[in-house]
Amino acid sequence: MLETVISAFRQIVGDSHTLTDPSSLRRYRARTIPDQRQIPAVVRPSSVEEIQQLVRVAAAHQVSLYPISTGNNWGYGSAQPTRDDTVVLDLGRMNRILEVNTELAYAVVEPGVTQQQLYAYLQERRIPLCLNPTGAGPTCSILGNTLERGFGIGPNGDHFLAQCGMEVVLGTGDILRTGFGHFPAARTTHLYKWGVGPYLDGLFTQSNLGIVTKIGVWLTPTPEQFAACYLTCNSEAQLGELIPAIRGLLFLGVFQGPVNLLHRNRVLIMLGQYPWQEMDGRTPLSEPVASRLAAQKKIGAWNGVGAISGSRAQVAAAKRTIARALKGKVDRLTFLSDDRLHLLKRFPRMFSAILKMNIPDLLKTLENSYGMMKGVPSEVALSLAYWRNRQKSGSAGSINPALDRCGLMWFAPIIPMTSEDVSAFRSIIEPILARHGLETCITLTAVNERCFDCTLPILFDSESPGEVAAAQACYAELHDACSRAGYIPYRLGLHSMALETTKDDVFWDVVERLKTALDPAGVVSPGRYSR
């Protein structure tokens, strides 16, 4: 059966875009999580019409397709389908930037458009608009992360909030245009999210209800003035007061987009690999070694970063407001602007003394994180995947944690933005991680004024069976204990999807009914966020 379908696929997209040989499939099997799936073939269409034809053939023969945009999805499963024997539908060839509206500040992109591509497009044409990159890096798509409801720091950081207008190929081959997009004369498809009638876009995020072939994304006009705010607390005890202060500032609207609070260990894993020698091969990282590394790099117990932008007067007022609100609550508060960054680069040692920071060690990270908030894609956050990797990043040019066999699983629960909840949450996760020989490397991302998304990377040596087993057991325990306490992940991976979708719950019943209605032959991504 599959053979027949694959020959039909070859007729539609051509031989060179229907991959079945093991060497071509290698990149699609590469992953940072332990779970491995069987991938019989990959098809690479170049148009919506080809997708429609592929879907109709697949439906007629009960074969499933798993759409990916760039297929990186680090730490959640990469390009692998949720179930075995699903053909990967690689949409990477559909990589046109269909429109950029400079006046109304949005872009319309196909699935294969990467963060770097959109950034370069804006730069080359001197279009004064900024995108919001993710920590996943320049080679990742705009569309995949939006469908996963991911986020970055800086303006328009909640990517699904900034998405407007979608085109979707359903499992029947029909094309759906959401919002105002289904009105032939619509002039506001990418300007007004809700359209008229039921709001459908959400159905196609974190789901398997359709193949999304284009989306509109809102961009940010380059501001007159931009500043990044960096804060440091040297002691753990300060976090309790810092959280309500940050919440208050977010409610005032002085930051543009999410603020990140990074635990000391999170900064350490971004700055280098595991100190195997110093630790004599033992794990997890001991407190004396962690403290010594942190002291050397002048990293605090907690380290915060957020973006401020607007007119000169707005930025000046925001800085004053932040300084007032955080007085006595942080040990260091630094605002970085283009001019200041320039000076830091010219006189790193002098500024180390003035700012009480280790500028030579931190300059690259500061520069990249600053750039990301201004819309410049960067690998700065992605390097953490290499923490326990015994080899260095292998690939020249851009880094690829899946091909480099890094061990990374993300656990990302949502926590109310109160000190009590953060403390209760930490008291659950820290003993579990320690028991499994893993470090607690959390970032608390204030995705809105009311809650944090806690991104916790579970980092392990994928070549060590012991570490792999520990990481898996640790994930299962974290997921279970946190869910019972009310701290539920905002996003699931191949390693965690069935933990939720198999539950006896009306929610998943309704999802199943929607799936049957929209994709009766079950073509699209079986098992993905559904039973």
Instruction: Return all residues near 522 (Cβ < 8 A) that are at least 6 apart.
Output: 62, 64, 171, 515
The residue written with tokens 């720091």 in the block is 153
Residue number, 78 or 369, with CB nearest to ligand ADP = 78
Tokens describing residue 62:
């009960």
Query: Could you tell me the smallest distance in angstroms from the CB atom of residue 344 to ligand ADP?
Result: 32
The residue written with tokens 């039921």 in the block is 198
The residue written with tokens 């032959």 in the block is 521
Distance CA 194, CA 414 (A): 25
Phi, psi of 390 (to 5 degrees): -70, -30
429 to 448, contacts with ligand ADP by CB under 6 A?
A: none
Q: Which residues pair with 306 in a beta bridge?
A: 229
Binding residues with ligand ADP: total (CB under 6 A): 21
204 to 243, contacts with ligand ADP by CB under 6 A?
A: 211-212
Query: Could you tell me the smallest distance in angstroms from the CB atom of residue 289 to ligand ADP?
Result: 33
Query: Could you tell me the smallest distance in angstroms from the CB atom of residue 51 to ligand ADP?
Result: 9
Sign of the alpha-carbon dihedral angle for 192, 194, 195, 200:
positive
Query: Could you tell me the smallest distance in angstroms from the CB atom of residue 212 to ligand ADP?
Result: 4
Part of the chain binding ligand ADP (CB under 6 A), chosen from 69-77, 191-199, 462-470, 515-523: 69-77
Tokens describing residue 198:
């039921």
Residue number, 434 or 517, with CB nearest to ligand ADP = 517
Name the burial class of residue 91, with classes exposed (0-12), middle (13-18) and buried (19+) by CB atoms within 10 angstroms of its CB: buried
Instruction: Return all residues near 74 (Cβ < 8 A) that are at least 6 apart.
Output: 32, 136, 382, 385, 401, 402, 408, 410
Regarding 71 and contact with ligand ADP (CB under 6 A), the answer is: yes
Residue number, 71 or 284, with CB nearest to ligand ADP = 71
Query: Could you tell me the smallest distance in angstroms from the CB atom of residue 162 to ligand ADP?
Result: 15
Query: Could you tell me the smallest distance in angstroms from the CB atom of residue 281 to ligand ADP?
Result: 33
The count of C-alpha atoms lying within 13 angstroms of the C-alpha of 278, restricted to the half-sphere facing its C-beta, is 12
Residue number, 206 or 321, with CB nearest to ligand ADP = 206
- Contact assessment for residue 142 and residue 115, using Cβ atoms and an 8 Å cutoff: yes
Regarding 166 and contact with ligand ADP (CB under 6 A), the answer is: no
Residue number, 146 or 265, with CB nearest to ligand ADP = 146
76 to 95, contacts with ligand ADP by CB under 6 A?
A: 91
Which one among 18, 32, 52, 72 touches ligand ADP, defined by CB under 6 A? 72
128 to 147, contacts with ligand ADP by CB under 6 A?
A: 136, 140-141, 143-145, 147
The β-bridge relationship of strands 65-68 and 87-90 is parallel
Distance CA 268, CA 468 (A): 22
Tokens describing residue 71:
């297929």
| SS3 state of residue 333 | strand
Residue number, 95 or 225, with CB nearest to ligand ADP = 95
Residue number, 462 or 525, with CB nearest to ligand ADP = 525
Query: Which residue has the CB atom at the shortest distance from ligand ADP?
Result: 144
Regarding 68 and contact with ligand ADP (CB under 6 A), the answer is: yes
Query: Could you tell me the smallest distance in angstroms from the CB atom of residue 224 to ligand ADP?
Result: 31
Tokens describing residue 220:
């940010």
> Which element (helix H / strand E) includes 512?
helix 506-518
Regarding 203 and contact with ligand ADP (CB under 6 A), the answer is: no
258 to 287, contacts with ligand ADP by CB under 6 A?
A: none
- Give the x-and-dash track for 101-130 against ligand ADP (CB under 6 A): ----------x-------------------
The closest of 134, 162, 141 to 90, measured between CA atoms, is 141
Give me the helix-helix angle, 465-485 and 419-435, nearest 10°.
150
Residue number, 73 or 496, with CB nearest to ligand ADP = 73
Query: Could you tell me the smallest distance in angstroms from the CB atom of residue 491 to ligand ADP?
Result: 10
Regarding 307 and contact with ligand ADP (CB under 6 A), the answer is: no
The count of C-alpha atoms lying within 13 angstroms of the C-alpha of 469, restricted to the half-sphere facing its C-beta, is 3
Backbone angle region of 286, left / alpha / beta, with phi > 0 → left and psi within -120 to 50 → alpha: beta
The residue written with tokens 């608390």 in the block is 444
Residue number, 67 or 152, with CB nearest to ligand ADP = 67
Which one among 64, 69, 232, 352 touches ligand ADP, defined by CB under 6 A? 69
- Applying CB under 6 A, the residues found at the interface with ligand ADP are 67-73, 91, 111, 136, 140-141, 143-145, 147-148, 211-212, 525, 528
